[in-house]
Amino acid sequence: MLFWRVKPLDLILATAEKKALHRSLDAWQLTLLGVGAIIGTGIFVLTAEAAQKAGPGMMLSFVIAGFVCAVAALCYSELASMVPVSGSAYTYSYAVLGEGVAWLVGWALILEYAVAASAVAVGWSGYFVGLMQHSLGLTIPATLANGPYAGGTVNLPAVFICLIVTALLVIGTRESATFNAILVTVKVVALTAFAALALPAVNGENFHPFTPLGGSGVVAASASIFFAYVGFDAVSTAAEETKNPQRNVPIGLIGSLGICTLFYLLVSAGAIGAVGAQPVLDPAGRGLPPGSVALAEQCRSLAALGQEPLVCSREALAQVLRQIGWTKIGNLIGLAAFLALPSVILMMLFGQTRIFFVMARDGLLPEALSRIHPRFKTPHVVTLVTGFAVTLAAAFFPVGKLADISNSGTLFAFLVVALAVMILRVKDKHRARPFKTPAVWIVAPLAVAGCLGLFLFLPPHAKLVFPVWGTIGLICYFLYGYRKSHMALGIPTPSGGEDIISEVRPLTELGENDLGPGTRD
């Protein structure tokens, strides 16, 4: 069945070698790229979302989500060392599970990158509004700073930042791994400062009750807070631009994940212990859904009484420091998020074009979508289309709902990667594996089970969006990609895709009017 046609690993490697990107990233740069990609909206914004679902038990939520990501990262490391080319999970699944599954993975990665960009924009909006109010005394009306689901009309700051980033990506912007390192430093310094100031103010009573909504609340928070970790797979998308990828990609994947897990535990402990993190309940004693109109109304009522629980904050970390007397430092934390998060949006949109490039290189997408602007040398068509969709989502949806939708696509991609590792161990057992997943028959099944488990605990809307999105993707595939695929037409190497890829320069060689990476959520 042509739906299951496989693009052999040797052909994938040959295709990439014929028109490969320049290898210039080392292990340290990859680790910084991963840390920059991971640290962002998840810890700066979704701390409040996790607290509303799990209370102080969100510390366990970080551990659970981190564990699932860790076993998935070990699977990613084996495949990335074997197939050090762009495309990430899409490329791996094409080589193992076939074109149809690969298309679904690539389609799911749109949820990870494009929807995640919308979530980051909404998260940035919260810090922007807080910074304007506490630093300049300017109050942006709630109806213009929130979408309908959060009790407003439209999130204008989120629309603004999406349009700015989209314009920059069309025109071209000067970004490099060095600039990424600076942004990573800003975020790491901000989180270190937060932990150093919040941990001494910890009050043990704030940890009780530890799981006010039970174990199901902890796992549900894990499913949402998963968004705080998943940026590590951005490291694998840079495999084609990495020196000695067989060694450096696994270091970047696992190293960045370990560093961020440590930060997350310290920061969450500081936030909970300093000001408390109990959820807001309805009259029946049940937790109100994050991102709901009911929660927004309850938070407004509490604010009118001079109370603002952590779960109601759109700039959680900055608020914690203000409440314990570090107002100026809290404003600086808000400033750090304000400065760093736009580059996360840029990275998401940039990563989306990388996936589209590889899919166009395989003939699964029209070459018109990857057309290069004659003056700016950027993929302006796909950037404008993606930017418009991201702006629309950011204007009307709250950060939590967007993060949950993004997680549904990411969990599917991670599950496929874990399956691919096990299948290759059987089908191609003699192929060289510079990095081998340890205890693969334990680690990979744990990754599959973890991804399935977290998916089941996502909110209903997120679980519903994914099959609907996947169905739309299959319709698009059978209308176009199924017939136009280079594998179907017997084209062993790309035609138009080569010219596209040759126009996109590596991450560390970008100059004026070039496109580059930033950092993630």
Q: Does a structural domain hold residue 304?
A: yes
Q: Does a structural domain hold residue 518?
A: no
Q: Does a structural domain hold residue 444?
A: yes
Q: Does a structural domain hold residue 237?
A: yes
Q: Does a structural domain hold residue 520?
A: no
Q: Does a structural domain hold residue 16?
A: no
Record the pTM. Answer: 0.79
Q: Which domain holds residue 119?
A: 24-509
- pLDDT recorded at residue 520: 41
d(CA 311, CA 55): 9
Instruction: Report how far apart, in Å, the C-alpha atoms of 149 and of each of 392, 396, 397, 488 are.
Output: 14, 7, 6, 44
d(CA 462, CA 501): 34
Q: Does a structural domain hold residue 114?
A: yes
d(CA 247, CA 272): 38
Q: Give the pLDDT of the chain (521 residues) as one tens digit per residue.
A: 445 677 776 676 665 555 444 555 677 777 877 787 777 767 777 788 888 888 999 999 989 998 998 899 888 888 877 776 656 678 778 877 888 888 888 888 888 788 888 888 888 888 888 888 877 788 888 888 888 876 788 999 999 999 988 887 787 644 445 566 677 788 888 889 999 999 999 998 889 888 888 888 999 999 888 888 876 766 766 665 667 777 787 788 888 888 888 888 899 899 999 988 888 888 877 888 877 778 888 888 888 887 888 888 877 888 899 888 888 898 888 888 888 788 778 777 777 777 777 787 788 888 777 677 777 767 778 788 888 888 988 888 877 778 788 888 889 989 998 998 999 899 888 877 877 888 999 999 999 999 999 999 988 888 888 889 889 989 989 898 888 888 777 775 544 444 433 344 443 344 434 433 334 44
CB neighbours of 28 closer than 8 A, spacing ≥ 6?
none
The separation between the first and the last C-alpha atoms of the chain, rounded to the nearest angstrom, is 39
CATH number at residue 390: 1.20.1740.10
* Total number of domains constituting the chain: 1
Q: Does a structural domain hold residue 336?
A: yes
